[in-house]
Amino acid sequence: MGIKRSKKSEKVITCKQVTQLIMDYINNELDAKATKTFELHLKDCNDCVAFLNTYKKTIGGVRSMKPEDVPQEIIEKVRHSIMKKLTIITFIAYLC
Amino acid sequence: MNNLNLIDEKGLNDFSTLPHLYDKRPYKEREASLIEGVKAGDHSSFNEIFEENFPMVYRLAHKLLGNSSEAEDVVQEVFLLVYRKTITFEGKSDFSTWLYRLTANTALSRLREIKKYKKVFVDEYLPQFNNDGHHKVRPVADWSLQVDKLVSDKQFSGLIHEAIDQLKPLDKAVIVMSDLEEMTNREIGNALGLSLQAVKSRLHRARLFLRGKLAVHLGYSPT
């Protein structure tokens, strides 16, 4: 849905502007006036409500992915390789 | 050189009498002295720093590069850089931020080499608008509730990783650090050498792209 008429004193923003401000809105980084303008748009625009819901859900979905534990064998493999190289580096430094 | 003295006195890998081995304080409280240890060439200090930071470095490298073998190479490169370059670490930023920067730079260089010939049309998944500022495709479908169902499915993780993999290296780094590593925008900016505004802009664009990919997967218009 588009934006309905607003009172004379209220600033009206477009769906495109809402999309540009959406991250700041979610992070509570808009000032009070901008927040009011943003929410006023949402009140009359189902398209932007749907967009906001799906945008927020995308972030939530990504964040819900639990970090996988790193297998101990990989840690040991890399540690062994690094320590081997360090020993060589240190030995060469010692010789020089 | 201090490190050579240590080798002369205690042998190449014998640091068993160093006092920090008896220091039972949490890692964060001992970090500064461990860094000094590495600067002096102490392998056991280096080993503790490795032990503590390996998961973060590996996770970030793995998420940026998308495979274990490349990630392992990058982790090795990063920790060898840590050993050689800790001497230049002045403590002006957190050690973890410095380490994130080393990891991101090393992984991004590798990623740019790999991605040299791949081209992805990210714009096709971004929202589009008419001249009057309204959404081009209306009504915009609210598929948010369908995502809950999808998240519990193993396919979701694969879908998101595949989508993240299609982003430009720097955009990929920003979204991985923000939404998977839970770093603040300021920390990401410090690690990647980007302004706060540049981080926010890249993060927003990356999220819009992922949203578009999810929409298409669920059978809706990305825009």
More confident residue, B120 or A63: A63
The CATH number linked to B43 is 1.10.1740.10
Among B77, B102, B117, residue at a domain's last position: B117
The answer for B 85-124 residues in CB contact with A (under 8 A) is: none
Q: Is B197 on the interface with A (CB under 8 A)?
A: no
B207 and B193, same domain (yes or no): yes
B66 and B134, same domain (yes or no): no
What is the pLDDT confidence band of residue B106, given thresholds at 50, 70 and 90? very high
Of A20-24, B22-26, B44-48, B117-121, the range with the lowest mean pLDDT is B117-121
| Residue range of the domain that includes B151 | 122-217
B166 and B128, same domain (yes or no): yes
Among B96, B117, B138, residue at a domain's last position: B117
Among B94, B117, B140, residue at a domain's last position: B117
Quick one: CA torsion of B171, B177, B180, B184, rounded to 10 degrees? -120
Q: Residue B207 pLDDT more than 90?
A: yes
Residue of A nearest to B220 (CA): A54
What is the pLDDT confidence band of residue A93, given thresholds at 50, 70 and 90? confident
What is the pLDDT confidence band of residue B139, given thresholds at 50, 70 and 90? very high
Report how many domains make up chain B. Answer: 2
If you write DSSP's letter for every residue of B117-164 in order, what string do you get?
G----GGGGS--B-TTSSBSSSSPP--HHHHHHHHTSHHHHHHHHHHH
B9 and B66, same domain (yes or no): yes
Question: Average model confidence (pLDDT) for chain A?
Answer: 87
pLDDT given at position B115:
67
Residue of A nearest to B223 (CA): A51
Query: In chain B, what is the straight-line distance between the N-terminal and C-terminal CA atoms, in Å?
Result: 62
Of A76-85, B18-27, B33-42, B50-59, the range with the lowest mean pLDDT is B18-27
The tokens of B56 are what? 């973060």
Q: What is the pLDDT of residues B168-193, one digit of tens each?
A: 899 999 999 999 988 999 999 999 99
With contacts defined as CB-CB under 8 Å, which chain A residues touch B72?
74, 77-78
Interface predicted TM-score (ipTM): 0.82
How do the domains of chain A map onto residue ranges? 15-95
pLDDT given at position A68:
76
Q: Is B43 on the interface with A (CB under 8 A)?
A: yes
Quick one: CA torsion of B94, B182, B210, B195, rounded to 10 degrees? -30
Q: 């997967």: which residue's tokens?
A: B217
Q: What is the pLDDT of residues B47-90, one digit of tens each?
A: 999 999 999 999 999 989 988 899 999 999 999 999 989 888 88
**Predicted TM-score of the model (pTM):** 0.82
pLDDT given at position B202:
97
For A7-26, what is the mean pLDDT?
87
Does residue B223 lie in a domain region? no
Q: What is the pLDDT of residues A26-69, one digit of tens each?
A: 999 999 999 999 999 999 999 999 999 999 999 999 998 877 77
B130 and B61, same domain (yes or no): no
Does residue B44 lie in a domain region? yes
DSSP A92: H
Check: CB of residue B151 under 8 Å from CB of residue A59.
Answer: no
What is the pLDDT confidence band of residue A9, given thresholds at 50, 70 and 90? low
Q: What is the pLDDT of residues B34-59, one digit of tens each?
A: 999 999 888 889 999 999 999 999 99
Question: Average model confidence (pLDDT) for chain B?
Answer: 86
pLDDT given at position A5:
47
The answer for B 57-86 residues in CB contact with A (under 8 A) is: 58-59, 68, 72, 75-76, 79-80, 83-84
A52, burial (CB in 10 Å: exposed 0-12, middle 13-18, buried 19+):
buried
Does residue B168 lie in a domain region? yes
Q: What is the pLDDT of residues B88-102, one digit of tens each?
A: 888 888 899 899 999
For B98-126, what is the mean pLDDT?
84
Does residue B150 lie in a domain region? yes
B174 and B91, same domain (yes or no): no
Does residue B22 lie in a domain region? yes
CA distance B97 to B200: 18
